[in-house]
Amino acid sequence: MTTVSRDSLPGVSPPPSLHGCNTLQPCWRLEVAVQTPAHSALGDLLTYASTVPMAPGALVRVPLGRREVLGVVWACAERSADDSALELKTVAGVLDALPPLDSGWRDLVAFAARYYQRSLGEVALAALPPQLRDLTSQQLARRLKRRATPVPAPDEAATDPAQAVALSGEQSAALARFEAETGPFLLFGSTGSGKTEVYLRAVAALLARDDKAQALVMVPEINLTPQLEARVRDRFEARFGVGAVVSLHSGMTHPQRLASWLAAHSGQARIVLGTRMAVFASMPLLKLIVVDEEHDPSYKQQEGARYSARDLAVWRGQREGAKVILGSATPSLESWHHSRPAEGDDTGGRYVRLAMPGRIGDGALPTVRGVDMNLQPPKTVLSAALLDAIGQRIARGEQSMVFLNRRGYAPVLACGDCGWKSECPHCSAYRVFHKIDRTLRCHHCGYTERVPRACPACGNPDIAPVGRGTERLEEHLAELFAPVRRPDGSAVRIARIDADSTRKQGALARKLAEVHSGEVDVLVGTQMIAKGHDFRRVTLVAAVNPDGALFSCDFRAPERLFSLLMQSAGRAGRDANYLAAQGSTAEMWIQTHHGRHPLFQALRQHDYPAFAKQQLDERRAAGMPPFAFQALVRADARLQEVAQDFLNAANAAADVLPHAPHVARYPAVPLSIQRVADVERAQMLVESGSRVALQRFLADWQPLLHGLRREPVGKGVIRWLIDVDPQAI
C-alpha cells in the first residue's frame, strides 16, 4: 500500500502530533472498520497507520482505494519493529469533536456481524447516519456548535398528566412485576388493553429515578412513529426539556437523522423512538428497551445485513444491563415459546410473561362473525349480511373498516380471447392494474406502462381486470352505498389507505386525521390500517379475502395471517364509552371459504394461546423453528441454472466442513418469485437442531463460498448472501 499524505486531503484537519513521534514515520497501528464492498473478502478490519494513539470507537477518515471513507477504530497498538517496515496508508483525519462509540455499541455491532454472517465494517457503517460519512471534522464541529445553542430548561415541577389516570389492575400488576424482576419481559396484552401506557409509565419511572438514563422505544412501521412521537412528546418534554425526545427512522431526511443520532450519542436525548434501525443507535446510558408489536415481520431487515432488530434488542439489553419489554397481542411463536411457564421437567422459557387479557374500562373484544362464502352467489365480493351491517353503522354515524391486503385495482389484466395476461417482462410476476392513473405497474421491479387500448397479443379491445385490490374495492363500496345517507343527510364518504394513496408527503397524516375526526364512514386499506392505530369510532372491521395465506408454502403464513386478523379486529370497539353511547357492539366479520379451519376457530374466541399451542405442536413435530434453527443461502444470476449450480456446488463443497454432519442441507430451488428485474434468484435451505452448530458451519462455509465465486461455477453469479433466521421461505 502507498502512503497518502493528509495534507493533500482538503477540508480534513490532521491529528495533533504526539511527542516523540515523527509525522513522517507514524508509530501507531490502527485496526479500522470500513464499509467494504459486500462479499469482497477483504476481511473485517483494515490496518492503517497513525501518528497518535486513538481510542477504540473513534471515528476517522481513511483512504480506501481512490476514495476517502469514514471508519471506526476497533483497536490501536504501538507499531512493533516487525511491522514497522510495512507501508501502511495513513489516517487522513479524525472526527475528534465526537466522543468515541462505547464498548457496548461496538460489541453489539460485532455480535450482529458475526451472527448474521456479514462484515464488521458493513454493519458498523450502516448503523451510522449517512450524512456523518461525508462530514469533515470542521463541518462536524460547526454542527455541534449550532446544537450547543441553549434550549428552554425542563420544568422540574411539571408532573406527568397521565399519573392522574388510574391504571387497571392488570396494568398495575404488570408494572409491579416489571420493577421487581429482571426480564426480559413479554407483555402479552390484548388490543386495547393499555400496553402503550405500561411502556410510558415504565419509561417515566426510569427517567425519574435516574437523571441520565436513556430509553429506546421501537415500533415496526414508519407510519406509527409520528403518532407515538406526539404522545411521548406531550408526556415528557415539559418534564425533561425540548430535545429530550427524538425519532430515528428511514422516513427522515439525512440532516434530521444526523441530528437525532447526535442527540442520542451525547446523552441529550433521553428517549429515542424509532423503527428497526434504531436498535443500533448510540445510547451510552441506555437502561430500557421497548419493542412494540414485537411479532411484526418489519423488524427483520430484508436488504444488506439481514438482522432481526427484536432479537438484537434482547441481546443488547443483556449486554448493557438494560431491561427489555417485548409487547404484542399476538406474539411471535418464538417469543411465546421463550416465555413459557415452567411445567413438569420443563424449566420454562428465559422470558417473563406479563399477561393483560382484558381491555381498558368496560370494553369488550369484538364479536367475530364468519361468512361462509361457499353459500354465497358466485362472484360475490361483499355478502348481503356484511353490507347490511356496514349500512347500520353508517346510519348511526359509526365507522367501519374493510381490510384487503392487496393494493391496486386488480392483480392482473387479462384477455378472454387469447389468454394474454399483464405479465411483467422483467419479473416472473404480473403487473397490477391501477385504474386511477391507467397504468400497469410491477410491484417487484417498479416497471410501469400505460394500459394498452387492446390486447397486445391478439388485438381484442375487451381486456378486463381479474381479481380485486383495494382501489377496486373502494370503487365497489362507493357504488353500493351511493344511495345511502349519513345521519346529517350527506353522502357516504369512503376513504382508502394503502401504499399508493399515501405516496405523497403528508398524505397519510391527512387521511388519518380525517378518520379520527369522523369525516370517513368506511375505511378501506391494506395492513397499513390493521395495526397500531387507535380509531375510536370504528365499531366494525371486515376481512374480505383472507384465505390465500392458509395454504402458502411458507410455514409462517398461518402465524402472520392470525396476527394480522387479530390486530385488525383490535381496531374495533376501542372506546367503551362511545359504544355505550351509541348503543352499539363491536364486530369483526370474516368472509372465508374455510370457516372450519383451526385458525378461524381460535380467532372466534380471541384465543391466541390455543392457536399458538396448535402451531407449536405442528412445528415441534416437523422440527421447525423455534425447535430448529435455519438459514437461507441465496444466489442471483442472469440464468436460473447458473444460480442453482453455484448453490449446489457450495452444498457439495460443504461436505468437508467439521460441523456438516450436524446441519441438514437441501437442494437449491427457485424463489417463489424467481425472476425480478431480469435477475434469476435461487435459494438453498440449511437447518440444524443446534444454533451453535449452524453458526460454526456458516462461518466455516464463508471462505468456500468466496472461493467458488472466483471459480468457473461462480462466474455468472451476480451476488450471493446468507439470511440467518429467515422470516420468509
Which residues participate in the annotated binding site for Zn(2+)? 415, 418, 424, 427, 442, 445, 455, 458
Residue ranges of the binding site: 415, 418, 424, 427, 442, 445, 455, 458
- Residue 129 burial (C-beta neighbours within 10 Å; 0-12, 13-18, 19+): buried
| Buried b or exposed e, range 79-110, using 16+ CB within 10 angstroms | beeeeeeeebbbbbbbbbbbebbbebbbebbb
C-alpha cell at 48: 492503517
Sheet holding 448-450, edge to edge: 432-434, 439-441, 448-450
| Residue corresponding to grid cell 397486445 | 456
Which positions ≥6 away from 326 have C-beta within 8 Å? 184, 185, 186, 187, 291, 294, 310, 313, 314, 335, 351
C-alpha cell at 648: 449446489
**What are the φ and ψ backbone dihedral angles of 3, each rounded to 5 degrees?**
-80, 135
Residue 73 β-bridge partners: 32
Where is 170: in which H helix or E strand?
Answer: helix 169-180
Secondary structure string (H, E, C) spanning 287-340 = EEEEEECCCCHHHECCCCCCCEHHHHHHHHHHHHCCEEEEEECCCCHHHHHHCC
C-alpha cell at 50: 497513525
> Do strands 59-64 and 67-78 pair parallel, antiparallel, or not at all (unpaired)?
antiparallel
Which positions ≥6 away from 75 have C-beta within 8 Å? 30, 31, 45, 56
Which positions ≥6 away from 657 have C-beta within 8 Å? 697, 700, 701, 704
**What are the φ and ψ backbone dihedral angles of 5, each rounded to 5 degrees?**
-75, 135
- Residue 139 burial (C-beta neighbours within 10 Å; 0-12, 13-18, 19+): middle
Residue type, 347: T
Whether 189 and 244 have beta carbons less than 8 Å apart is answered as no
Whether 292 and 200 have beta carbons less than 8 Å apart is answered as no
**What are the φ and ψ backbone dihedral angles of 474, each rounded to 5 degrees?**
-60, -45
